Amino acid sequence: MSIRALGGGDLVGDKPVLFVYLDETGTGDPKVEPFVIIAGVMVKADKKWKTVEERLKKIANEFALPEERYNFFFHANELFTGGKKEFREKYSLQKRFQALIALCSVPEEFDLPIFTYAVHRARYAQRRPIGLSANELLTEALMHCSVVCATQIEQFVREHYDDDEVVTLVYENNSDKNYWIKEYHKLFRSDVIENELKRLKVKRLSRFERIIEAPMFSGKTDSSLLQIADACAYVIGRKLRGIGIPNDMWKPVRRQLKAGVLDLMREPV
């Protein structure tokens, strides 16, 4: 019996589908967060997926107080900075850092590929027409990140997996931009995109052939692997901003990074 799709039907082909869980960061004050970033982690929907989920549960159970373990999920920013006073009082800096290190180490532990893309918001704004609102510029930058990161995933699957293996993308459901992410994915899976891509001077994008279905949107309590994407995006964001991130958080992420910003890819693994 084949693994079945979320809607109840059989998945395409005889092989388990690949899932990539993606999260965004850098959508706040551009003076504090100059880069908008999307990061994703890939896992096959087989026994490894369940093993990774169990690993995340173990990390959470070892971290959270017993009364908070039900539906508990990690947020990387909260682990690194301490978040609200109540959270800092419950969980020490050492314990928070140990949990974040454990999250960042999961992709390497299970050999899960990581993908990312980032846009410098101010530089992007300089290339766009005058008159766009701050929210419109942010939406465009996020869409650009989403499409380029998805193209990286598409090309990676073409190069490293059999022809009948396909991938579905799952985004963190935390943005009012989800509608546009879905629309962009629909466009890049259509015939219409072919002529548009031919006009590009830089051939960095491609039609989505191995990415199937519309992207899904989920919360961390429903799709626990989004916690890994959140941790990767946070660590990558601090690295790009040059504001410091411990090597035992950054290095495991870098070693699994299969495509991303050029400056990051130049870092030794």
- Least confident window among 144-153, 171-180, 213-222: 171-180
Q: How many CB atoms lie within 10 A of CB 165?
A: 18
Q: Residues 43, 112: contact at Cβ < 8 Å?
A: yes
- Does residue 163 carry a pLDDT above 50? yes
In a domain, 48, yes or no: yes
DSSP 68: G
Q: Flag whether 4 is in a domain.
A: no
Q: What is the mean pLDDT of residues 88-111?
A: 96
Q: State whether residue 114 is helix, strand or coil.
A: strand
Quote the CA–CA distance of 188 and 207 in Å, as a whole number: 5
Residue 131 lies inside a defined structural domain of this protein: yes
C-alpha to C-alpha distance for 153 and 168, rounded to whole angstroms: 10
**pLDDT for res 14:** 57
Tokens of 113: 């590929």
At 233 the pLDDT is: 96
CB 69 within 8 A of CB 61: yes
Q: What is the pLDDT of residues 1-21, one digit of tens each?
A: 233 444 444 444 557 799 999
The side-by-side arrangement of strands in the sheet containing 35-44 is: 216-218, 167-172, 18-25, 35-44, 114-120, 257-259
* Mean pLDDT calculated for residue range 27-52: 93
CATH number of the CATH domain containing 149: 3.30.420.10
For 266, the token pair is 């130049």
Least confident of 180-189, 203-212, 213-222, 251-260: 203-212
Q: Are 117 and 260 in contact (CB under 8 A)?
A: yes
Residue 13 in domain: no
Alpha-carbon gap, residue 227 to 250, rounded angstroms: 16
Range of the domain at 187: 18-265
Confidence of residue 203 (pLDDT cuts 50, 70, 90): low
Q: Which residue has the tokens 């970033």?
A: 37
Model confidence at 256: pLDDT above 90: yes
Determine the 3-state secondary structure of 37 from DSSP: strand
pLDDT at residue 127, rounded to an integer: 86
* Higher-confidence position of 154 and 268: 154
pLDDT of the residue at 184: 86
Residue 130's pLDDT is 78
CB neighbour list of residue 156: distance below 8 Å, 6 or more residues apart: 42, 113, 115, 258, 259
Of 18-32, 80-94, 120-134, which range is least confident?
120-134
Count of alpha carbons within 13 angstroms of residue 231, beta-carbon side = 31
d(CA 103, CA 252): 10
> Is the confidence at residue 217, as pLDDT, over 70?
yes
Per-residue pLDDT, averaged over 88-95, amounts to 95
113 domain-assigned: yes
Is 187 within a domain? yes
CB neighbours (10 Å) of residue 112? 23
With contact defined as beta carbons under 8 Å apart, do 184 and 143 qualify? yes
pLDDT of residue 176: 75
Instruction: Confirm whether 8 is domain-assigned.
Output: no
Identify which has the larger pLDDT, 11 or 71: 71
Position 201 confidence tier, pLDDT thresholds 50, 70, 90: low
Mean pLDDT, residues 44-52: 91
Q: Specify if 134 maps to a domain.
A: yes
Q: What is the pTM of this model?
A: 0.90
Counting the structural domains of the chain, the total is 1
Beta carbons of 226 and 19 less than 8 angstroms apart: no
How far CA 57 is from CA of 5, 63, 72, 73, 155, in Å, comes to 23, 10, 9, 9, 32
